[in-house]
Amino acid sequence: MSDRLEDIALAMVADGKGLLAADESTSTIKKRFDTIGLDSTETSRRDYREMLFRADEAMKKYISGVILFEETLYQKAADGTPFVDLIKAAGSIPGIKVDLGAKPMAGFPGETITEGLDGLRERLADYYKAGARFAKWRGVIAIADGLPTWGSIKANSQALARYAALCQEAGIVPIVEPEVLMDGAPGTHDIAKCAEVTEWVLRTVFTDLYDARVKLEGMILKPNMVIDGKNARKASVAQVAEATVKVLKATVPSAVPGIAFLSGGQTTEEATAHLSAMNSAYDMPWKLTYSYGRALQDTALKAWGGRSENVAAGQRAFTHRARMNSLAATGTWQQDLEKAA
């Protein structure tokens, strides 16, 4: 694998492949494990992720890279193999979530700012040594009455740009993730409002990336899809695809090699259907693929249920989801393929 940022970025959005977001923080993975009645311990977290990383067909054919949480980057499989080596052996690229989470923004009720810039240069050097070749930072933008504010958009956008510049300096491809929430409160906005806010956010982000001298060829964008709020869902698959492509074409320079969507509260099948609709109906200057967490893992987590005898079932569920999303990344997914499984 070349160490050029541009080559790594292109490999991350290779045809029919996408990113597995396995970077749940310790508190988030606990919530996921609670749904299957499993205690979150270092061992249970290791066993769960090892199940995913050893799903050979999924990892080799459909996953280009894995976003890891710091604990996971340094973890070893039960037999002592470092997870980073397992991921690389499958032909996939290890990555790392580097932000320290969205915290309430002083003076901006209902809005957050993502922390983690202090000491980031030194952390990135350590992560590079540990094998990470890309990173992720998420800025969170809420839609509500009078929100978002310009102050919140600008602060999150500048943090994303500073993070991206530090990554590139360290030889690490930044995933730039400005997420306009669909499932934030009250979640009653329509798709037009989401389009307006997403366009505003992305215009701001690319201005700040330019000002921070970030090389667009050596980054990946991870945006939300343009979709109505979770408590006002009306838009059809075709409407979501059309609105999303329109906003991206208006804001994302063609120098960016790829866009890997977050699933952001959509059901697993919705996330797949929307991605496939964009790829089948539109010509675009960048690759459009997936960087899903829940929408790749949910069925696998339930099938596994924390039991060693269910590892194969969990891997089958994960492989099916990965294959469906791989088809979506090439615009060839069909609803009836879900039934066949």
Q: Are strands 173-180 and 287-292 parallel, antiparallel or unpaired?
A: unpaired
For residue 340, pLDDT beyond 90? no
At 341 the pLDDT is: 63
Q: Are 275 and 262 in contact, with CB atoms under 8 Å apart?
A: no
How many residues in total does the chain contain? 341
Task: Establish whether 111 is a catalytic residue.
Answer: no
Instruction: Please state the rounded mean pLDDT for residues 311-328.
Output: 98
User: Average pLDDT, stretch 215-234?
Assistant: 97
State the average pLDDT for the chain.
97
Superfamily of domain 5-340 in CATH is Aldolase class I (3.20.20.70)
Antiparallel, parallel or unpaired: β 220-221 and 112-114? unpaired
Confidence label for 270 from pLDDT (cuts 50, 70 and 90) = very high
Threshold 0.75, pTM exceeds: yes
Tokens 């804001």 correspond to 251
Instruction: Collapse the DSSP code of 261 into the 3-class scheme (helix H, G, I; strand E, B; otherwise coil) and give the result.
Output: strand
C-alpha closest to that of 292 among 284, 300, 303: 300
Q: What is the mean pLDDT of residues 261-268?
A: 96
pLDDT tens digits for 149-196?
999 999 999 999 999 999 999 999 999 999 999 998 999 999 999 999
Give the containing element (helix H, strand E) for 125. Answer: helix 120-129
Calculate what percentage of the chain has a pLDDT beyond 70: 99
Q: Considering the candidates 17, 136, 222, 287, report the single residue annotated as catalytic.
A: 222
Residue 73, burial from CB neighbour count under 10 angstroms (0-12, 13-18, 19+): buried
Six-digit token pair at 81? 């193999």
Q: Which of 70, 177, 179, 242 is catalytic?
A: 177
Specify the amino acid at residue 138. R
The per-residue pLDDT for 45 is 98
Torsion of CA 263, 98, 101, 161, to 10 degrees: -80
Stretch 2-24: mean pLDDT, rounded? 97
**Is 177 annotated in the active site?**
yes
Residues 6+ positions from 77 with CB-CB distance below 8 Å: 46, 50, 53, 54, 83, 86
Assess whether pLDDT exceeds 80 at residue 107.
Answer: yes
Domain boundaries, the chain: 5-340
